[in-house]
Structure 1
């Protein structure tokens, strides 16, 4: 079952994904950061601060490909296909029909949301948004998941070990079986 860890920037998602990977859980890293690193290294302009539309297009391609090629079994995605819809809405760019279609077809199990957390928020070379924009991103993304019929689970603002336990507790086999009986999980 594919699951998603999402939320605004700087909420501890990548740290949590890395900690989950250390437990042996398969993870798919966030495409946005990889695209930023690649574009900066190549002198490209598919960057959120240069050409948000090209950046979004690169994320769409990467996220759809990752969803299609991930091996069967439990896996955690650092952001899912619906995240790009939230990003496009936030930036005022049109949402391509193929992205909306992909978001409706590519279903996930649990959606874990890392809420804005001012105590840990930091900018860096890849994360240039301020905390207000991080909060707006969080809100836009959560709204998209809800529109798609998910009931996102809010991660506690606690240390990494406690967050790992929270995720693992919600990924036990009973939760997945119960979710399949209802059609799809939260």
Structure 2
């Protein structure tokens, strides 16, 4: 059985994690966002904000982690697996921050393909910041536009999830797969 890999993406504070948790509550197989884990590991090594201090190293670690998730998703005995952010997210953020990256990043996005992309649009009413989410809502809007364009660059047509409650957004996603 080929396990379909389904990405849920969107700018900061759009509800991705809440939807992933809701999908899990409904018995769906999910892989969680790894950027906070990468940040926490760097903090243990004395780097307060790896993304700000060494953006290329941070992005390399994200790319490796998301590639590992891609391979991990194939191991599930399930029709599909939901993944909180995909490989193109790394490039979208690097483009947003105008950071150069090796050709390997592009090649990785070309080679490892997802089956469905769901994108959550910016939504000011639910947006909050915290210790790891330091972007303003205006920055989140810009990041979102980079996510749309990056996924389209790689031939995806992201399905936009409507601004509804968590359960309704989850049901919308499930109805489209």
- Superposition TM-score, scaled by structure 1 size: 0.87
Contact persistence 2:12–2:140 (CA under 8 A):
yes
The residue correspondences of 1:67-146 to structure 2 (distance < 5 A) are 67-70=70-73, 71-72=75-76, 73=78, 74-146=80-152
The DSSP-based 3-state class of the residue aligned with 2:68 is helix
1:61 Cα deviation from its structure 2 partner: 1.1
Q: Structure 1 residue 65 and structure 2 residue 68: aligned?
A: yes
Q: Structure 1 residue 47 and structure 2 residue 53: aligned?
A: no
The DSSP-based 3-state class of the residue aligned with 1:14 is helix
Contact persistence 1:11–1:114 (CA under 8 A):
yes
* Corresponding position of 1:3: 6
Aligned match for 1:37, one of 24, 35, 40: 40
Aligned match for 1:12, one of 2, 12, 15: 15
Q: Structure 1 residue 26 and structure 2 residue 29: aligned?
A: yes
1:38 Cα deviation from its structure 2 partner: 2.4
Q: Structure 1 residue 160 and structure 2 residue 166: aligned?
A: yes
The DSSP-based 3-state class of the residue aligned with 2:18 is helix
1:46 Cα deviation from its structure 2 partner: 5.9
Aligned match for 1:147, one of 143, 153, 172: 153
* Distance in 2 separating the partners of 1:110 and 1:78: 12
* Distance in 2 separating the partners of 1:170 and 1:109: 12
1:68 Cα deviation from its structure 2 partner: 1.7
**Unaligned residue ranges in structure 1 (runs of 5+):** 172-186
The DSSP-based 3-state class of the residue aligned with 1:53 is helix
Structure 1 stretches of at least 4 aligned residues deviating more than 6 Å after TM superposition: none
Figure out how many residues of one structure are paired with residues of the other and give that number: 171
Q: Residues 60 and 46 (structure 1 numbering): CA distance in 2 closer, same or farther, change over 3 Å?
A: farther
* Distance in 2 separating the partners of 1:117 and 1:43: 34
* Distance in 1 separating the partners of 2:101 and 2:143: 15
**Unaligned residue ranges in structure 2 (runs of 5+):** none
Contact persistence 1:86–1:137 (CA under 8 A):
yes
Q: Which moved more, 1:78-87 or 1:44-53?
A: 44-53
Deviation string 1:97-140 (CA, Å, 9 cap, x unpaired) is 11111111111111000100000101001100111111111111
Q: What is the RMSD computed on CA atoms of the aligned residues?
A: 1.3
